[in-house]
Protein backbone atom coordinates (compact mmCIF):
# COMPACT_ATOMS: atom_id res chain seq x y z
CA UNK A 1 0.00 0.00 0.00
CA UNK A 2 2.65 2.38 1.15
CA UNK A 3 4.87 1.50 -1.76
CA UNK A 4 2.02 2.11 -4.08
CA UNK A 5 1.35 5.49 -2.53
CA UNK A 6 4.98 6.52 -2.88
CA UNK A 7 4.94 5.32 -6.43
CA UNK A 8 1.86 7.46 -7.13
CA UNK A 9 3.51 10.47 -5.57
CA UNK A 10 6.54 9.77 -7.68
CA UNK A 11 4.41 9.58 -10.81
CA UNK A 12 2.67 12.77 -9.84
CA UNK A 13 5.99 14.55 -9.34
CA UNK A 14 7.23 13.44 -12.73
CA UNK A 15 4.02 14.64 -14.32
CA UNK A 16 4.17 17.97 -12.47
CA UNK A 17 7.78 18.59 -13.41
CA UNK A 18 6.95 17.72 -16.99
CA UNK A 19 4.13 20.24 -17.06
CA UNK A 20 6.34 22.81 -15.44
CA UNK A 21 9.17 22.18 -17.91
CA UNK A 22 6.69 22.48 -20.71
CA UNK A 23 5.41 25.84 -19.52
CA UNK A 24 8.92 27.07 -18.81
CA UNK A 25 10.03 25.97 -22.24
CA UNK A 26 7.06 27.70 -23.81
CA UNK A 27 7.76 30.83 -21.75
CA UNK A 28 11.24 31.10 -23.28
CA UNK A 29 10.15 30.65 -26.88
CA UNK A 30 6.82 32.40 -27.34
CA UNK A 31 8.48 35.81 -27.36
CA UNK A 32 9.83 34.85 -30.81
CA UNK A 33 6.26 35.05 -32.14
CA UNK A 34 6.40 38.87 -31.99
CA UNK A 35 8.66 38.76 -35.07
CA UNK A 36 8.00 35.28 -36.50
CA UNK A 37 4.22 35.10 -35.98
CA UNK A 38 2.19 32.92 -33.62
CA UNK A 39 3.62 29.38 -33.65
CA UNK A 40 6.32 30.60 -36.03
CA UNK A 41 3.93 31.05 -38.95
CA UNK A 42 5.49 34.27 -40.25
CA UNK A 43 3.28 36.41 -42.48
CA UNK A 44 5.97 38.99 -43.28
CA UNK A 45 7.92 38.35 -46.43
CA UNK A 46 11.48 39.02 -45.27
CA UNK A 47 11.19 37.07 -41.99
CA UNK A 48 11.25 33.27 -42.36
CA UNK A 49 8.59 30.82 -41.25
CA UNK A 50 10.06 28.78 -38.37
CA UNK A 51 6.99 26.80 -37.25
CA UNK A 52 7.43 23.27 -38.61
CA UNK A 53 11.05 23.90 -39.63
CA UNK A 54 13.63 21.12 -39.08
CA UNK A 55 14.82 21.02 -35.45
CA UNK A 56 18.48 20.43 -36.27
CA UNK A 57 18.47 23.34 -38.69
CA UNK A 58 16.90 25.71 -36.15
CA UNK A 59 19.47 24.62 -33.59
CA UNK A 60 22.36 25.07 -36.00
CA UNK A 61 21.22 28.55 -37.06
CA UNK A 62 20.68 29.74 -33.49
CA UNK A 63 24.17 28.51 -32.55
CA UNK A 64 25.68 30.23 -35.57
CA UNK A 65 23.99 33.51 -34.71
CA UNK A 66 25.01 33.19 -31.09
CA UNK A 67 28.66 32.56 -32.00
CA UNK A 68 28.74 35.30 -34.63
CA UNK A 69 29.23 32.75 -37.39
CA UNK A 70 26.22 34.07 -39.24
CA UNK A 71 25.24 37.66 -39.95
CA UNK A 72 21.66 38.80 -39.74
CA UNK A 73 19.46 41.64 -38.58
CA UNK A 74 18.48 41.43 -34.90
CA UNK A 75 19.16 37.69 -34.57
CA UNK A 76 22.91 37.72 -33.72
CA UNK A 77 22.01 39.85 -30.68
CA UNK A 78 18.86 37.99 -29.71
CA UNK A 79 20.53 34.55 -29.94
CA UNK A 80 22.96 35.65 -27.21
CA UNK A 81 20.01 35.66 -24.82
CA UNK A 82 19.61 31.93 -25.41
CA UNK A 83 22.02 29.56 -23.69
CA UNK A 84 22.22 26.02 -25.09
CA UNK A 85 19.24 24.63 -23.20
CA UNK A 86 17.09 27.51 -24.43
CA UNK A 87 18.26 26.94 -27.99
CA UNK A 88 17.05 23.35 -27.63
CA UNK A 89 13.69 24.68 -26.45
CA UNK A 90 13.41 26.90 -29.52
CA UNK A 91 14.32 24.05 -31.88
CA UNK A 92 11.97 21.56 -30.18
CA UNK A 93 9.07 23.90 -29.82
CA UNK A 94 8.96 25.34 -33.30
CA UNK A 95 9.86 22.12 -35.12
CA UNK A 96 6.82 20.50 -33.48
CA UNK A 97 4.45 23.16 -34.80
CA UNK A 98 2.57 22.73 -37.99
CA UNK A 99 4.11 24.30 -41.07
CA UNK A 100 1.93 27.09 -42.46
CA UNK A 101 2.88 28.22 -45.98
CA UNK A 102 3.45 31.88 -46.72
CA UNK A 103 0.45 33.79 -48.01
CA UNK A 104 2.67 36.03 -50.16
CA UNK A 105 2.27 35.64 -53.94
CA UNK A 106 4.84 34.13 -56.31
CA UNK A 107 5.41 34.64 -60.03
CA UNK A 108 4.14 31.66 -62.01
CA UNK A 109 6.45 32.18 -65.00
CA UNK A 110 9.50 32.49 -62.81
CA UNK A 111 8.44 29.46 -60.79
CA UNK A 112 8.19 27.39 -64.02
CA UNK A 113 11.61 28.59 -65.03
CA UNK A 114 12.97 27.75 -61.57
CA UNK A 115 11.58 24.23 -61.66
CA UNK A 116 13.84 23.46 -64.65
CA UNK A 117 16.99 24.20 -62.70
CA UNK A 118 15.84 23.18 -59.21
CA UNK A 119 17.44 19.74 -59.21
CA UNK A 120 20.67 21.34 -58.05
CA UNK A 121 18.93 21.83 -54.69
CA UNK A 122 17.36 18.39 -54.27
CA UNK A 123 20.29 16.58 -52.64
CA UNK A 124 20.21 18.81 -49.59
CA UNK A 125 16.67 20.20 -49.46
CA UNK A 126 14.74 17.25 -50.84
CA UNK A 127 12.77 16.93 -54.06
CA UNK A 128 9.95 19.04 -52.72
CA UNK A 129 12.11 21.47 -50.80
CA UNK A 130 10.91 19.79 -47.62
CA UNK A 131 14.32 19.88 -45.89
CA UNK A 132 16.59 17.09 -44.70
CA UNK A 133 17.96 17.17 -41.15
CA UNK A 134 20.12 20.27 -40.80
CA UNK A 135 19.17 21.43 -44.30
CA UNK A 136 16.10 23.60 -43.98
CA UNK A 137 12.68 23.30 -45.48
CA UNK A 138 12.48 25.95 -48.21
CA UNK A 139 9.14 25.02 -49.77
CA UNK A 140 6.45 27.55 -48.97
CA UNK A 141 8.79 30.20 -47.57
CA UNK A 142 8.13 33.72 -48.93
CA UNK A 143 9.78 34.52 -52.28
CA UNK A 144 11.43 37.63 -50.93
CA UNK A 145 13.12 35.75 -48.11
CA UNK A 146 14.43 32.95 -50.34
CA UNK A 147 15.67 35.41 -52.95
CA UNK A 148 17.43 37.48 -50.31
CA UNK A 149 19.20 34.43 -48.88
CA UNK A 150 20.34 33.29 -52.33
CA UNK A 151 21.63 36.78 -53.16
CA UNK A 152 23.40 36.98 -49.79
CA UNK A 153 25.21 33.72 -50.57
CA UNK A 154 26.10 34.96 -54.03
CA UNK A 155 27.40 38.28 -52.72
CA UNK A 156 29.38 36.65 -49.93
CA UNK A 157 27.29 38.18 -47.14
CA UNK A 158 26.48 34.60 -46.07
CA UNK A 159 29.09 31.90 -46.42
CA UNK A 160 28.67 28.16 -46.92
CA UNK A 161 30.40 25.52 -49.03
CA UNK A 162 27.14 23.84 -49.94
CA UNK A 163 25.69 27.09 -51.20
CA UNK A 164 28.77 28.19 -53.16
CA UNK A 165 27.13 26.88 -56.37
CA UNK A 166 24.99 30.04 -56.52
CA UNK A 167 27.93 32.05 -57.91
CA UNK A 168 27.45 30.19 -61.21
CA UNK A 169 23.85 31.36 -61.52
CA UNK A 170 22.46 34.67 -62.76
CA UNK A 171 20.29 36.83 -60.53
CA UNK A 172 17.29 35.92 -62.67
CA UNK A 173 17.98 32.21 -62.19
CA UNK A 174 18.18 32.68 -58.45
CA UNK A 175 14.95 34.63 -58.47
CA UNK A 176 13.39 31.81 -60.46
CA UNK A 177 14.59 29.26 -57.89
CA UNK A 178 13.13 31.36 -55.09
CA UNK A 179 9.79 31.52 -56.88
CA UNK A 180 9.76 27.81 -57.58
CA UNK A 181 10.40 26.71 -54.01
CA UNK A 182 8.03 29.31 -52.62
CA UNK A 183 5.35 28.00 -54.99
CA UNK A 184 5.45 24.51 -53.43
CA UNK A 185 2.68 24.93 -50.88
CA UNK A 186 1.75 21.61 -49.39
* Angstrom distance (rounded) from CA 94 to CA 67: 21
Site residues for another protein per CB under 8 A: 20, 23-24, 26-28, 30-38, 41-47, 73-74, 77-82, 144, 148
Q: 3-state SS of the chain? A: CHHHHHHHHHHHHHHHHHHHHHHHHHHHHHHHHHHHCHHHCCCCCCCCCCCCCCHHHHHHHHHHHHCCCCCCCCHHHHHHHCCHHHHHHHHHHHHCCCCCCCCCCCCHHHHHHHHHHCHHHHHHHCCCCCCECCECCCCCCCHHHHHHHHHHHHCCCCCCCHHHHHHHCCHHHHHHHHHHHHHCCC
C-beta closer to another protein: residue 6 or 15 = 15
C-beta closer to another protein: residue 42 or 179 = 42
Minimum CB distance to another protein, residue 28 (Å): 5
Q: Is 110 exposed, middle or buried (0-12, 13-18, 19+ CB in 10 A)?
A: buried
C-beta closer to another protein: residue 118 or 143 = 143
C-beta closer to another protein: residue 36 or 125 = 36
Minimum CB distance to another protein, residue 51 (Å): 12
Minimum CB distance to another protein, residue 20 (Å): 7
Minimum CB distance to another protein, residue 180 (Å): 21
C-beta closer to another protein: residue 45 or 173 = 45
Minimum CB distance to another protein, residue 129 (Å): 21
Amino acid sequence: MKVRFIFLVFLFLIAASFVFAETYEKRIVIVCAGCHGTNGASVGDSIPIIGGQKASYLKKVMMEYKNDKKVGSVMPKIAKGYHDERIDFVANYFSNKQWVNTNKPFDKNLADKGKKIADVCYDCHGKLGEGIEAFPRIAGQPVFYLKQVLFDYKNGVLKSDEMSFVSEYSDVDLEALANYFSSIRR
